[in-house]
Structure 1
Amino acid sequence: MTDRDTVMSEQLRIAAGQYSSAGRKAMNQDFHGLCTPEGPALASKGIAIALADGIGSSEVSHVASETAVAGFLDDYYCTSEAWSVRRSAERVITATNAWLHAQTRQSPYREDADRGYVCTFSALVLKAATAHVFHVGDARIYRLRDGRLEQLTEDHRVAIGGGQSYLARALGVGERIDIDYRGHSIATGDVFVLLTDGVHEHVDDARIAEIVAAHGEDPDAAAKQLAARAFEAGSEDNLIAQVVRVEAVPHSDPEDIAERLTRLPHPPELEARDSFEGYEIVRQLHVSSRSRIHLAREMETDRPVALKTPGSDLRDDPVLLERFLLEEWIARRLDSPHVLKPAGRRHRQAHVYVAMEYIEGTTLTQWMIDHPRPEMAAVRELVTQIGKGVLAFHRQEMIHQDLRPDNILIDATGTVKIIDFGAVEVAGISESAGRLGADEILGTEQYAAPEYFLGERGTVRSDLFSLAAITYQMLTGRLPYGTRVPRARSAAAQHRLKYSSAIAYNADVPLWVDGALKKALHPNPDRRYAEVAEFVYDLHHPRKAFMADHALPLIERDPNRFWKGLSAVLGLTVIGLFAYIVRIGGGV
């Protein structure tokens, strides 16, 4: 992001100026930015400009504004190159809305959304010969062409009489958001103007056109003058103005304008020593009907990467293919040492594939085979790391939905990495990303929470169940409910699921750890921990309630001792009966 940026590419060239001021207010609740990527992203994603206007009734609206703009400019360029501009931007805006709404729900303002994490949002993406406009709220985007100013957005305000109105649409107000979208052609000499209501309500269209035309060679000066004019006219609001002049437009390319990248072909069958988009294939790592993963070497840097290409099931299934394309964007949104990272590309993408960092290590599945009776300390350490990785998803309003030992990698340093994102649900975009039917679950049945088998949506507590099931398996070598959970497809059947104490299979498990597992693995999600961090904490710190409420019978605390004791009692009983019979027989 820059205050003044002149951008040149082989196809598109612009000059831009930006200005922001608190105006007469003590705080500037608005936020703006412009991003011009380098390399292939400039051609495949274009130039993004955005602004957000804070709501005066909210004390935290400035946080929402900054999050909306900074998040858009970061996340938009993380989306798959196989997505259109519209699909990419709408995915990002919708996910941001869900995140802001979640913050309000968790704040003191949960009962009054207008005081929560809310803001308006408008964005302009210039790519090839098209201007893509995205809009929520009452800021405005204009286009000045041949001296005529045209408003490209619609104010989302509702008049209530007496000259008063209220904002009808804003980010963060509701769980879902309607986003206005329009595409417009670009011509050399076009000027796009983005203004918050603090400016456009005090500067009429004729004056806007006059100021922009008067500073045609200096967009910065035009932006400053627009804000200054609004201030002089009595504006009491924050002031933001962005002016973008198109200096050169690429030759019309029908394929590009029609979003050529949305029709990227599937890769060919890859073999060792093949060259593919700047990579040399080393060997195949994994193959299934949904994906193929190859170890490859980036030729320019000699860096190892993992290339994931669609399997046969995805070629004719748009829902599964959409989820496949989500994976790289999800990885780019996360920042955790315990989550696999994407591998940045140096070349424009020509096929559908995902490039991720390559980790040399072993799966948790193999680790459990190698450590059938692990020390409690080792289990705690691994679960803590997995928990941190899961928390990275939850902080971004994502549910992993497929935590299992095969999706967890341990590298040579003992660092845990969550490596698969094919089932992740991102708040706000799950429907558009394609959701399977209630009879199909995205995760692995053995580790899936019971609520999935009732057709319910996953939550943080669902991921917690899966993590606890993995922990239980690490300690006991078996799953807490065996194979009964996938068969329990009614509330009554799930009510009959009974937890089997881990101590019955591993006498070294402390009572309070078993209590934590029992709570985390409860069939009813409302009876589990609310957060993964609570479960991890209780694995390290004895909770008195678990000690007091865990008066287990001897058969569960120490089965060997129970059976030995029972055998001794039975033996003494038999001896006693035999002596009695002998005595009675002698008396006769």
Structure 2
Amino acid sequence: MQISVGQYSDKGRKAVNQDFCDFRIPDEPQLSAKGIVVALADGISSSQVSQIASKAAVTGFIEDYYCTSDAWSVKTSAERVLVATNAWLSGQTRQSPYRFDKDRGYVCTFSALVLKSTTAHLLHVGDSRIYRLSGQSLEQLTSDHRIWLSSEQSYLSRALGADSQLEVDYKALPLALGDVFLLATDGVFEFAEPEFLVTTLHNGLAQAHGLDAAAKLIVEHALARGSTDNLTAQIVFIKALPAPSAGEMPERLRQLLLPPLLSARTEFDGYSIVREIHSSSRSHVYLALDNASQTTVALKTPGVDMHLDAAHLERFLLEEWVARRLNSPYILKPMPPERERHYVYVVNEFIQGQTLAQWMIDHPKPSLDTVRALVVQISKGLQAFHRLEMLHQDLRPENILIDHTGTVKIIDFGATRVAGLAETAALGTLEHILGTPQYTAPEYFLGEPGSSRSDLFSLGVLTYQMLTGELPFGAEVAKTRTVLAQRNLRYNCALADDREVPSWIDAVLRKAVNPNPEKRYQELSEFVFDLHQPNAEFVNSRRAPFLERNPLLFWKLLSLSLALACLALIAGYSRA
């Protein structure tokens, strides 16, 4: 992405300029990961310290935004920074002589434009404005948070630092080449005519390095028209947008070679291959020895059949990117890079243990407490994903390892959806269904993006399978591609005469795997809590009706009863 920015701020007829504006165009990789920030703030006239609030809001937002996780979406990163900034400003007011008069405290309006990939993200609190030039007119993209008591009297209904709670307006708009945005405080837009703004913007674009001059001209024009407030204008021109293939992953692919099929005793890029652990058409996993550190590792390479699949190779490299940002004892840990890599592969810690799939074969009837212990660990691993706005999306028995101590490790992050990366065009392919159908949440089959409740569905299916050895809907979920079909899915009761499963546990499982995500547990912690102690909602519920427990036998018996009744009637008529 390439942009041009022009800005100008003036105190006007006031003694102090309580406006503040700034922008940052970072270098790669932050340019692709976090985007470009343009922001301004306007202090309120009744306060003698709001210029401090304005500067702190803008500089703090820009600094802190780039310190947030690049796995987070722009919305999450920006809102968390603004909430923290709001808390700091309101705290300053409470500790100042103005604690009983907030209109004289550390308060300001705030508007920011975050440009990432091909999207403009708008954050707004107060009555400063963001416009977009559309032909010969200006489109106002923000709403003023101002309440008018009369034609001459009004007050701000929302501002940074005005209250301990903050509500931020957020909007995401697609970017187009040549887009022009104008950010302005009320000292400008209340006095400069829209026609003048449009003409000045067009003239500024036509001149080399004319955006600063155009911003200054706009401010001077508003001042000449009688503005009595501070005046600030920022102009943003989109000169170039990233290509769909732009990004960190494709660039790394161009720099690395595709690995050959490896075998025992092969020397490969500083590793000695000991043996193959797992092999499929999608990947190969080897037990290897790092020759430099003499550490035993698990080395994973893409399947030979996937060498021409660019999307698969991107997802393959995504695994390591994801793993390096997660920190949980219940998630497979990547090994730190010891040297420059020449091939496409990832290196992880080696776990001596077995998959959950094998564990269920070895433990066909585990105790409820044993299953609970495993579910708790898996849920903690998933929570580490969700805290960073990631969805695993492929939680299945083969992707969970259990080591010799009984500790769970979630593996395989190739299907992981990362909110921060999903905002870029480069990884649009990740929106397709990548998980295993039997464990994939129904909403994915409707084309919906999924949520943390989608991972919860998969965990619910795993829990059900550990307790019963079966799946709650069999293989029917993947066949349901409409809302109506999903409503008609029939849950198989987990209760049986040969299973030690309390009836309230079945109710917990039924809720966790509800086809409608809105009817599932909202949080993993709620599901885990209900697994450990009876929920009042479920403990008094009756045993599932016979129709639900064994519908086939129910209809057979009903048909037999009707047939017998018909025969009895026929026999009665015959005697008559």
| Offset from partner CA, 1:342-364 (integer Å, 9 cap, x none) | 11112112111112222111111
Distance 1:29 1:547, change over 3 A: farther
Name which of 397, 400, 405 aligns with 1:408.
Answer: 400
Q: Give CA deviations for 1:398-421 in whole Å, capped at 9, x if unaligned.
A: 111110011001112221110111
Rounded Cα–Cα distance in structure 2 between residues aligned with 1:335 and 1:116: 37
Q: Bigger shift: 492-501 or 517-526?
A: 492-501
Letter paired with 1:401: Q
Q: Which consecutive unaligned segments of at least 5 residues does structure 1 have? A: 1-23, 37-43, 76-91, 124-132, 139-155, 182-196, 198-204, 209-234, 238-257, 567-588
- Matched-pair contact (CA < 8 Å) for 1:289–1:311: yes
Q: 350, 359, 381: which one pairs with 1:358? A: 350
- Helix, strand or coil for the counterpart of 1:502? coil
- Is 1:68 aligned to 2:68, yes or no? no
After superposition, the C-alpha distances for 1:134-182 in whole angstroms (9 at most, x for unaligned) are: 99899xxxxxxxxxxxxxxxxx97699xxx99999xx99445776999x
1:395 matched to 2:387? The reply is yes
Alignment match of 2:377 (pick from 380, 385, 388): 385
Tell me the distance in 2 between the aligned counterparts of 1:548 and 1:117: 52
Q: Does 1:458 align with 2:455?
A: no
The equivalent residue for 2:361 is: 369
Measure the CA separation in 2 of the matches of 1:385 and 1:25.
55
TM-score (norm 2): 0.58
Q: Which of 84, 97, 107 is the matching residue for 2:74?
A: 97
Q: Residues 307 and 356 of structure 1 are in contact (CA less than 8 Å); yes or no, is this contact kept in structure 2?
A: yes
Contact conserved, 1:408 with 1:419, CA < 8 A, in 2? yes
| Deviation (angstroms), 1:489 | 2.3
For 1:335 and 1:118, locate their aligned partners in 2 and report how far apart those are by CA, in whole Å: 34
Q: Distance in 1 between matches of 2:395 and 2:110?
A: 31
Q: Does 1:433 align with 2:427?
A: yes
Structure 1 pair 479/70, CA: closer, same or farther in 2 (3 Å)?
same
Report the CA distance shift for 1:406/1:32 in structure 2 as closer, same or farther (over 3 A). Answer: same
Distance in structure 2 (CA, Å) of the matches to 1:96 and 1:292: 32
Residue 390 to residue 260, structure 1, CA distance change in 2 (3 Å): closer
Aligned partner of 1:539 in structure 2 is 531
Tell whether the 8 Å contact from 1:51 to 1:69 is kept in structure 2 after alignment.
no
Q: Distance in 2 between matches of 1:61 and 1:310?
A: 45
Q: CA deviation at 1:68?
A: 2.6
Q: In 2 relative to 1, CA 102–304 (structure 1 residues): closer, same or farther, beyond 3 Å?
A: farther
Tell me the TM-score normalized by structure 1: 0.57
1:417-438 superposed Cα distances (whole Å, 9 cap, x missing partner):
1011111111253353142786
How far off is 1:63 after superposition? 7.6
Contact 1:319 1:434 in 2 (8 A): no
The CA distance in 2 between the partners of 1:501 and 1:338, in whole Å, is 30
- Which residue in the other structure is 1:472 paired with? 464
Equivalent position to 1:418, from 406, 410, 416: 410
Change in Cα spacing, 1:498 to 1:31, as seen in structure 2 (3 Å) is same
1:60 CA displacement: 8.4
Residue among 272, 296, 311 paired with 1:304: 296
SS at match of 1:422: coil
Q: Which amino acid aligns with 1:392?
A: A
* Structure 2 counterpart SS, 1:474: helix
Q: Which residue number in structure 2 is paired with residue 150 of structure 1?
A: none
TM-aligned CA distance change 1:555 to 1:61, over 3 Å:
farther
Contact 1:343–1:355, Cα closer than 8 Å, also in 2: yes
Cα distance change on mapping 1:51 and 1:493 into 2, 3 Å: closer
Indicate conservation of the 8 Å contact 1:33/1:69, yes or no: no
Q: Match for residue 499 of structure 1? A: 491
Aligned letter for 2:351?
Answer: I
The CA distance in 1 between the partners of 2:508 and 2:63, in whole Å, is 39
1:515 to 507, 514, 522: 507
Instruction: Give the length in aligned residue pairs.
Output: 406
Aligned pairs for 1:80-91 (under 5 A) are none
Structure-2 separation of matches of 1:294 and 1:172:
50
- The separation in 1 between residues aligned to 2:497 and 2:78, in whole angstroms, is 44
| 2:427 counterpart letter in structure 1 | A
Distance 1:514 1:354, change over 3 A: same
Describe the shift of the 1:536–1:137 C-alpha distance in structure 2 as closer, same or farther (beyond 3 A).
closer
1:393–1:172: structure 2 CA closer, same or farther, 3 Å change rule?
farther
Identity across aligned pairs (percent)?
A: 45
Equivalent in 302, 306, 322 of residue 314 of structure 1: 306
Q: CA–CA distance in 2 between the matches of 1:476 and 1:539?
A: 15
Contact preservation (8 Å) 1:97, 1:175: no
Distance 1:100 1:106, change over 3 A: same
**Distance change >3 Å, CA 481–CA 67, structure 1 → 2:** farther
Residue 545 of structure 1 deviates from its aligned partner by 0.8
Q: Distance in 2 between matches of 1:397 and 1:116?
A: 28
Q: CA deviation at 1:479?
A: 0.6
Aligned CA RMSD, in angstroms, stands at 5.0
- Separation in 2, partners of 1:542, 1:265: 55
Q: Which runs of 5+ in 2 are unaligned?
A: 1-15, 43-53, 87-106, 123-129, 143-167, 179-183, 185-208, 213-229, 233-249, 558-576
- The 8 Å contact of residues 322 and 434 in structure 1, kept in 2 or not, is answered as no
Instruction: Give the residue type in structure 1 aligned to 2:77.
Output: L
Q: Structure 1 pair 402/122, CA: closer, same or farther in 2 (3 Å)?
A: closer
Q: Secondary structure at the match of 1:362?
A: strand
Task: Determine helix, strand or coil for the equivalent of 1:463.
Answer: helix
- Return the match for 2:482 from 467, 490, 494: 490
Output the amino acid matched with 1:307.
Answer: L
**How far apart are 1:512 and its partner, in Å?**
2.2
1:13-67 deviation digits (Å, cap 9, x = unpaired): xxxxxxxxxxx999x999999999xxxxxxx999x99996776489988885455
C-alpha spacing 1:50/1:425, structure 2 compared with 1 (3 Å): closer
Matched, 1:288 2:280: yes
Q: Which residue of 2 aligns with 1:144?
A: none
